[in-house]
A = this chain, B = another copy of it.
Amino acid sequence: MKERKVKNVFMDGAISSQFIGESIAKHQSKTTIGAHNIFLGQVRADEVDGKQISAIDYTAHQEMANAKFFEIRETTFEKFNLTCMHIYHSLGEVKTGEICLFVFVSSPRRKEVFKALEYIVEEIKAKVPIFGKELFEDESHQWKVNS
List the interface of chain A (C-beta within 8 A of B): 17-18, 20-22, 24-25, 27-45, 96-99, 106, 108-110, 113-114, 117-118, 121, 147
Contacts and interface: CB of A to CB of B under 8 A. Distances in A.
B34 A37 contact: no
B39 A39 contact: no
Contacts of A33: 42, 44, 97
A30 B96 CA distance: 9
Given A35-B42, A40-B36, A42-B33, A118 B114 contact: yes
Contact of A114 (B41, B114, B147): B114
14 contacts: A17-B21, A17-B28, A20-B21, A24-B40, A28-B97, A28-B99, A31-B43, A32-B45, A34-B43, A34-B44, A37-B39, A38-B39, A39-B110, A44-B108
Given A32-B45, A36-B38, 16 more contacts: A17-B25, A20-B20, A24-B99, A28-B42, A28-B98, A28-B99, A33-B97, A34-B41, A35-B41, A35-B42, A37-B40, A38-B40, A44-B108, A114-B114, A114-B117, A114-B118
List the 4 shortest-distance A-B pairs measured between CB atoms, nearest first. Answer: A21-B21, A31-B45, A17-B25, A36-B40
A125 to B, nearest CB: 8
Nearest to A38: B38
Nearest to A25: B17
